[in-house]
Amino acid sequence: MAKTVLISITGADRVGVIAAITAQLFELGADLGDTNFAVLGTSFEFSSVCELPDSLGNRRAETELRALEPLADAEVRVSNFKYQPQHEHSGRVSHRIQVTGGDQPGLLARLTEVFGQFGANIVSMNSQRQIDRGRSEYATRFAVSIPKNRADACLAAIGNTAGQLQMIFTWEEAGG
């Protein structure tokens, strides 16, 4: 028997941290489901909905993870996951979208409002700000679930919004 948990880890980013985490979870008998990893500034954030053997308590899983050298100063939390681990239809990615250009206040708010207006669900989002020749550049990538009958209108609206913000907009349909 297994139980579904959410594992959340935040710490100083270093090479090999994700390998150490996933190897330890494998050793503990975890079966990973939806998993995310991101570098945020000089830190990282790892989260995974996974199944753990009933015989492995949440505290013991935390202790085993904290014992890893790359996680010496990390925040580690293992908690029971009260939601369904499988996606509903709105969790399936239909389109991948990228918007790039100069950083400006309200950029993400304006873009994400458009998705909501068309009933599109943002499944994942990644944004990065970089300084290039003294100018702040921003790149945002969205994986979204757009209702089929609203996809063309939604993509056109995102394109118009990006254009008004003097951003470059690209998209592709998600495979399979």
The boundaries of the domain holding residue 135 are 89-173
Rounded Cα distance between 5 and 52, Å, is 7
- Domain final position from 80, 114, 146: 80
CATH number of the domain to which 107 belongs: 3.30.70.260
The answer on 108 and 73 residing in a single domain is no
| Beta strand residue intervals within the chain, DSSP E | 2-12, 31-40, 43-53, 75-80, 95-102, 121-132, 135-145, 168-173
DSSP state, residue 85: S
DSSP state, residue 167: -
The answer on 116 and 70 residing in a single domain is no
- Domain final position from 80, 109, 142: 80
- Domain final position from 80, 100, 124: 80
pLDDT band at 45 (very low <50, low <70, confident <90, very high): very high
Q: pTM, whole model, 2 decimals? A: 0.77
The answer on 124 and 74 residing in a single domain is no
The answer on 128 and 62 residing in a single domain is no
* Neighbouring C-alpha atoms within 13 Å toward the C-beta of 81: 21
**CA nearest to 6, candidates 73, 64, 85:** 85
Structure tokens that stand for 43 in this block: 């830190």
> With 80 as the cut, is the pLDDT of residue 43 above it?
yes
The answer on 10 and 60 residing in a single domain is yes
Taking only the tens place, the pLDDT of each residue in 6-34 is 999 999 999 999 999 999 999 999 999 98
Residue type, 67: A
Q: Provide, rounded to the nearest whole percent, the portion of the chain with pLDDT above 90.
A: 76
The answer on 134 and 157 residing in a single domain is yes
The answer on 114 and 66 residing in a single domain is no
61 by DSSP, 3-state: which?
helix
Taking only the tens place, the pLDDT of each residue in 131-144 is 777 777 889 999 99
